[in-house]
Amino acid sequence: MILTIDVGNTRVSMGAFKGDELVFTSAMSSVRNRTRDQYAIEILEIFSLYSVDRSDFEGAIISSVVPEMSNTIRDAVEKAINCKPLMLGPGVKTGLNIRVDEPSQVGVDFVALSVAACRRFKTPCLVVDLKTATKISIIDGNNTFIGAIICPGVEISVKALADKTSQLPKISITAPKKVVGKNTIDCMASGVVYGTSSMLDGLCDRVEKELGQECSVIATGSFAQGIIPHCKREMIYCPNLIFEGLKIIYDKNMGK
Protein backbone atom coordinates (compact mmCIF):
# COMPACT_ATOMS: atom_id res chain seq x y z
CA MET A 1 0.00 0.00 0.00
CA ILE A 2 1.01 3.61 -0.60
CA LEU A 3 0.16 6.44 1.80
CA THR A 4 -0.48 9.88 0.27
CA ILE A 5 -0.57 12.94 2.55
CA ASP A 6 -1.49 16.55 1.85
CA VAL A 7 -0.44 19.01 4.57
CA GLY A 8 -2.63 22.11 4.45
CA ASN A 9 -3.10 25.11 6.69
CA THR A 10 -6.26 23.70 8.29
CA ARG A 11 -6.05 19.94 7.82
CA VAL A 12 -3.54 17.16 7.22
CA SER A 13 -5.40 14.88 4.80
CA MET A 14 -4.38 11.34 3.90
CA GLY A 15 -5.39 8.70 1.42
CA ALA A 16 -4.20 5.10 1.27
CA PHE A 17 -3.91 3.20 -2.01
CA LYS A 18 -3.81 -0.53 -2.58
CA GLY A 19 -2.64 -0.72 -6.16
CA ASP A 20 -4.67 1.96 -7.91
CA GLU A 21 -7.62 1.64 -5.52
CA LEU A 22 -8.10 4.33 -2.90
CA VAL A 23 -9.08 2.24 0.12
CA PHE A 24 -9.61 5.00 2.68
CA THR A 25 -9.24 8.72 3.27
CA SER A 26 -8.99 10.56 6.55
CA ALA A 27 -7.81 13.86 8.03
CA MET A 28 -6.21 15.37 11.12
CA SER A 29 -6.13 18.98 12.27
CA SER A 30 -3.07 21.01 11.31
CA VAL A 31 -1.51 21.98 14.64
CA ARG A 32 1.89 23.56 14.22
CA ASN A 33 3.21 22.86 17.72
CA ARG A 34 2.38 19.15 17.76
CA THR A 35 5.32 16.76 17.87
CA ARG A 36 6.36 14.00 15.53
CA ASP A 37 5.27 11.35 18.02
CA GLN A 38 1.83 12.92 18.52
CA TYR A 39 1.17 12.85 14.78
CA ALA A 40 2.60 9.32 14.47
CA ILE A 41 0.22 8.09 17.18
CA GLU A 42 -2.76 9.68 15.43
CA ILE A 43 -1.74 8.17 12.08
CA LEU A 44 -1.55 4.72 13.67
CA GLU A 45 -4.94 5.22 15.30
CA ILE A 46 -6.41 6.06 11.89
CA PHE A 47 -4.86 2.87 10.46
CA SER A 48 -6.52 0.91 13.27
CA LEU A 49 -9.87 2.59 12.57
CA TYR A 50 -9.74 1.31 8.98
CA SER A 51 -8.30 -2.11 9.91
CA VAL A 52 -5.02 -1.46 8.12
CA ASP A 53 -1.67 -2.62 9.49
CA ARG A 54 1.38 -0.35 9.39
CA SER A 55 3.37 -3.19 7.80
CA ASP A 56 1.03 -3.10 4.79
CA PHE A 57 2.66 0.13 3.58
CA GLU A 58 5.63 0.06 1.24
CA GLY A 59 5.96 3.81 0.77
CA ALA A 60 4.49 7.28 1.13
CA ILE A 61 4.47 10.68 -0.54
CA ILE A 62 3.78 14.05 1.09
CA SER A 63 2.83 17.43 -0.31
CA SER A 64 3.01 20.33 2.14
CA VAL A 65 2.14 24.01 1.86
CA VAL A 66 3.04 24.54 5.52
CA PRO A 67 6.88 24.55 5.66
CA GLU A 68 7.01 24.67 9.46
CA MET A 69 5.10 21.36 9.59
CA SER A 70 6.82 19.53 6.74
CA ASN A 71 9.66 17.93 8.73
CA THR A 72 7.35 16.97 11.59
CA ILE A 73 4.89 15.17 9.31
CA ARG A 74 7.70 13.53 7.33
CA ASP A 75 9.25 12.16 10.53
CA ALA A 76 5.85 11.09 11.87
CA VAL A 77 5.05 9.16 8.71
CA GLU A 78 8.48 7.50 8.72
CA LYS A 79 7.98 6.48 12.35
CA ALA A 80 4.45 5.20 11.65
CA ILE A 81 5.20 3.03 8.61
CA ASN A 82 8.99 2.57 8.87
CA CYS A 83 9.49 3.98 5.35
CA LYS A 84 11.06 7.30 4.41
CA PRO A 85 8.39 9.27 2.54
CA LEU A 86 8.95 11.11 -0.72
CA MET A 87 8.50 14.86 -0.24
CA LEU A 88 7.00 16.56 -3.29
CA GLY A 89 9.26 19.46 -4.25
CA PRO A 90 12.25 20.40 -6.42
CA GLY A 91 13.99 17.40 -7.93
CA VAL A 92 10.90 15.17 -7.86
CA LYS A 93 9.70 14.01 -11.27
CA THR A 94 6.09 15.04 -11.93
CA GLY A 95 5.75 14.94 -15.72
CA LEU A 96 3.97 18.30 -15.57
CA ASN A 97 5.06 21.08 -17.90
CA ILE A 98 5.05 24.40 -16.03
CA ARG A 99 5.16 27.71 -17.88
CA VAL A 100 5.11 30.57 -15.37
CA ASP A 101 7.56 33.30 -14.32
CA GLU A 102 9.07 31.29 -11.44
CA PRO A 103 8.32 27.55 -11.83
CA SER A 104 10.09 26.75 -8.56
CA GLN A 105 7.55 28.88 -6.68
CA VAL A 106 4.50 26.93 -7.85
CA GLY A 107 2.87 25.33 -4.82
CA VAL A 108 3.07 21.56 -4.56
CA ASP A 109 -0.72 21.37 -4.20
CA PHE A 110 -1.10 23.07 -7.60
CA VAL A 111 1.32 20.51 -9.06
CA ALA A 112 -0.36 17.40 -7.63
CA LEU A 113 -3.86 18.55 -8.60
CA SER A 114 -2.74 19.47 -12.12
CA VAL A 115 -1.00 16.12 -12.62
CA ALA A 116 -4.20 14.29 -11.70
CA ALA A 117 -6.37 16.57 -13.84
CA CYS A 118 -4.16 16.03 -16.90
CA ARG A 119 -4.43 12.25 -16.42
CA ARG A 120 -8.22 12.15 -15.90
CA PHE A 121 -9.74 14.99 -17.92
CA LYS A 122 -9.67 16.63 -21.29
CA THR A 123 -7.66 19.82 -21.40
CA PRO A 124 -7.77 22.79 -21.35
CA CYS A 125 -9.21 22.63 -17.87
CA LEU A 126 -9.45 24.57 -14.65
CA VAL A 127 -9.02 22.98 -11.23
CA VAL A 128 -10.89 24.84 -8.48
CA ASP A 129 -9.54 23.96 -5.03
CA LEU A 130 -11.77 25.22 -2.21
CA LYS A 131 -9.88 24.91 1.05
CA THR A 132 -8.30 27.49 3.37
CA ALA A 133 -7.62 29.51 0.24
CA THR A 134 -9.67 29.31 -2.94
CA LYS A 135 -7.29 28.44 -5.77
CA ILE A 136 -7.76 27.88 -9.50
CA SER A 137 -5.13 26.06 -11.56
CA ILE A 138 -5.15 26.79 -15.30
CA ILE A 139 -3.98 23.99 -17.60
CA ASP A 140 -3.88 24.58 -21.35
CA GLY A 141 -4.65 22.19 -24.20
CA ASN A 142 -1.05 20.96 -24.22
CA ASN A 143 -1.28 19.75 -20.60
CA THR A 144 0.85 22.68 -19.44
CA PHE A 145 0.28 24.53 -16.17
CA ILE A 146 0.22 28.14 -17.32
CA GLY A 147 -0.82 29.96 -14.16
CA ALA A 148 -3.27 30.21 -11.32
CA ILE A 149 -5.62 32.41 -9.31
CA ILE A 150 -5.56 32.63 -5.50
CA CYS A 151 -8.37 34.17 -3.42
CA PRO A 152 -9.25 34.18 0.29
CA GLY A 153 -11.12 30.99 1.12
CA VAL A 154 -14.67 30.86 2.43
CA GLU A 155 -13.55 30.05 5.96
CA ILE A 156 -11.07 32.94 5.94
CA SER A 157 -13.83 35.27 4.75
CA VAL A 158 -16.21 34.21 7.52
CA LYS A 159 -13.50 34.50 10.16
CA ALA A 160 -12.49 37.95 8.91
CA LEU A 161 -16.08 39.20 9.11
CA ALA A 162 -16.44 37.95 12.67
CA ASP A 163 -12.99 39.10 13.84
CA LYS A 164 -12.91 42.51 12.20
CA THR A 165 -16.44 43.71 12.91
CA SER A 166 -18.19 44.42 16.19
CA GLN A 167 -21.63 42.98 15.48
CA LEU A 168 -21.17 40.13 13.00
CA PRO A 169 -21.00 36.60 14.47
CA LYS A 170 -19.22 33.48 13.32
CA ILE A 171 -21.50 31.38 11.14
CA SER A 172 -21.61 27.95 9.54
CA ILE A 173 -21.00 27.90 5.80
CA THR A 174 -24.45 26.83 4.64
CA ALA A 175 -26.44 28.35 1.79
CA PRO A 176 -29.57 30.23 2.86
CA LYS A 177 -32.82 29.57 0.98
CA LYS A 178 -32.75 32.98 -0.71
CA VAL A 179 -30.02 35.33 -1.92
CA VAL A 180 -31.68 38.29 -0.22
CA GLY A 181 -31.10 37.77 3.49
CA LYS A 182 -33.72 38.85 6.05
CA ASN A 183 -31.47 38.45 9.10
CA THR A 184 -27.77 38.81 9.89
CA ILE A 185 -26.93 35.11 9.63
CA ASP A 186 -28.63 34.68 6.26
CA CYS A 187 -27.11 37.92 4.95
CA MET A 188 -23.62 36.71 5.81
CA ALA A 189 -24.22 33.20 4.51
CA SER A 190 -25.57 34.59 1.25
CA GLY A 191 -22.51 36.75 0.78
CA VAL A 192 -20.12 33.89 1.45
CA VAL A 193 -21.85 31.06 -0.46
CA TYR A 194 -23.51 32.90 -3.35
CA GLY A 195 -20.70 35.44 -3.48
CA THR A 196 -18.05 32.72 -3.80
CA SER A 197 -20.05 30.77 -6.39
CA SER A 198 -20.61 33.91 -8.46
CA MET A 199 -16.93 34.78 -8.19
CA LEU A 200 -15.97 31.34 -9.48
CA ASP A 201 -18.38 31.62 -12.41
CA GLY A 202 -16.98 35.04 -13.28
CA LEU A 203 -13.33 34.01 -12.97
CA CYS A 204 -13.86 30.93 -15.15
CA ASP A 205 -15.53 33.12 -17.79
CA ARG A 206 -12.60 35.54 -17.73
CA VAL A 207 -10.02 32.76 -18.02
CA GLU A 208 -11.84 31.24 -21.01
CA LYS A 209 -12.00 34.64 -22.67
CA GLU A 210 -8.26 35.12 -22.11
CA LEU A 211 -7.44 31.66 -23.45
CA GLY A 212 -9.93 31.88 -26.30
CA GLN A 213 -11.13 28.35 -25.46
CA GLU A 214 -13.82 26.65 -23.44
CA CYS A 215 -12.49 24.77 -20.43
CA SER A 216 -13.78 21.89 -18.37
CA VAL A 217 -13.86 22.75 -14.66
CA ILE A 218 -12.99 20.32 -11.87
CA ALA A 219 -13.72 21.19 -8.25
CA THR A 220 -12.14 19.74 -5.14
CA GLY A 221 -11.37 20.70 -1.56
CA SER A 222 -13.26 20.60 1.73
CA PHE A 223 -15.70 23.42 0.86
CA ALA A 224 -16.45 22.35 -2.73
CA GLN A 225 -19.64 20.45 -1.91
CA GLY A 226 -21.15 23.49 -0.25
CA ILE A 227 -20.26 25.95 -2.99
CA ILE A 228 -20.32 24.34 -6.46
CA PRO A 229 -24.05 23.40 -6.45
CA HIS A 230 -24.72 27.16 -6.50
CA CYS A 231 -22.46 27.87 -9.47
CA LYS A 232 -24.14 28.39 -12.84
CA ARG A 233 -21.24 26.68 -14.58
CA GLU A 234 -21.05 22.89 -14.55
CA MET A 235 -18.20 21.66 -12.36
CA ILE A 236 -17.03 18.08 -11.89
CA TYR A 237 -16.61 17.28 -8.20
CA CYS A 238 -13.50 15.21 -7.43
CA PRO A 239 -12.89 15.09 -3.66
CA ASN A 240 -9.81 12.87 -3.89
CA LEU A 241 -7.99 14.56 -6.76
CA ILE A 242 -4.98 15.55 -4.61
CA PHE A 243 -4.43 11.94 -3.53
CA GLU A 244 -4.68 10.71 -7.12
CA GLY A 245 -2.07 13.23 -8.23
CA LEU A 246 0.30 12.28 -5.43
CA LYS A 247 -0.06 8.57 -6.28
CA ILE A 248 0.74 9.26 -9.95
CA ILE A 249 3.84 11.24 -8.94
CA TYR A 250 4.94 8.52 -6.49
CA ASP A 251 4.64 5.83 -9.16
CA LYS A 252 6.58 7.95 -11.66
CA ASN A 253 9.45 8.39 -9.22
CA MET A 254 9.46 4.74 -8.23
CA GLY A 255 9.66 3.69 -11.88
CA LYS A 256 6.22 2.10 -11.93
Instruction: Please indicate whether residue 109 is annotated as part of the active site.
Output: yes
HSE, CB side, 13 Å, CA atoms: give it for residue 28: 23
Tell me the Cα Rg of the chain.
19
Q: Cα(10)–Cα(127) distance, rounded to whole angstroms?
A: 20
Q: What does each C-alpha distance from 45 to 64, 81, 100, 110, 136 come to in angstroms? A: 22, 12, 41, 29, 34
Given 6, 75, 109, 205, which residue is catalytic? 109
Strands, E, within the chain: which ranges? 2-7, 11-18, 21-29, 59-64, 86-87, 97-98, 125-130, 133-139, 144-152, 216-220, 236-237
Q: Please state, in angstroms and as integers, the Cα–Cα distance from residue 76 to each residue in 37, 79, 80, 82, following that order.
A: 6, 5, 6, 10
Catalytic residues: 109
